[in-house]
Amino acid sequence: MVNYPRGIFSSIEHSISHQNKIIFSDRGMTLEQQINESNEYYLNHNIAVIHKKPTPIQIVKVDYPRRSRAVIKEAYFRQASTTDYNGVYRGYYLDFEAKETKNRKSFPLKNFHEHQIIHLQKCLEQKGICFAIIRFVTLNRYFITPASYLIRMWYSNSKKSLSLIDIINNSYEIKSGYNPTLSYLDGVDKFIIDRI
């Protein structure tokens, strides 16, 4: 038993009430937060070394109300960024983008920029494992979609978006969980098996 200012709280009652709770491991998290937590887990357990790439910016104006409270007031992107993440897993170079959509039935290809598609293409030419993690927010579904498929669809004049069925048929579905938050390397293992 634990004594609190407004009464007594039984540890048995506490454990019973927790057993009935529904746990939503990814509620309120963005896809990037889930990937960043997963990457930290993979790094801490010596599974993989994967990091989010910093976006190169040029700071133009900074306000210094106090020395410890500097605020960037104006900044510009130095150059177009490539993809969100890269790293090494089981001796393979990984390069990938993270995208979310609130659409229930399709993923708009305009969510990718041409420089990202070109970058993925160049990494594939160097035998990297390249893909996008696509999250359908309202459906709470996650897919690892191969860059080769995305590139082909990007350059197809007939496609403005990928239907959920297209993505299901051309991707690996992954689940969110606890440790790691998003076990996307399970999908990468399938890429590796397909390569062998």
Any domain includes 2: no
In a domain, 11, yes or no: no
Q: In sequence order, which ranges of the chain are alpha helices (DSSP H)?
A: 11-19, 31-44, 114-125, 147-154, 164-170, 185-195
Please report whether residue 141 resides in a domain.
yes
Does residue 42 form part of some domain? yes
Residues 34 and 132 sit within 8 Å (Cβ to Cβ): no
Domain of residue 122, residue span = 26-54+80-195
186 labelled ligand-binding: no
- Residue 143, classed as helix, strand or coil, is strand
- What are 122-147's pLDDT values in tens digits? 999 999 999 999 999 999 999 999 99
Overall number of domains in the chain: 1
Q: How far is CA 3 from the centre of its chain?
A: 43
Does any domain span residue 86? Answer: yes
Domain assignment present for residue 96? The answer is yes
The CATH number assigned to the domain holding 31 equals 3.40.1350.10
Q: Is residue 71 part of a domain?
A: no
Provide the whole-model pTM.
0.75
Residue 84 counted as an annotated binding residue: yes
- 166 is known to lie in a ligand binding site: no
Residues of the chain below pLDDT 50: 1-27
Would you say 97 is a known binding-site residue? yes
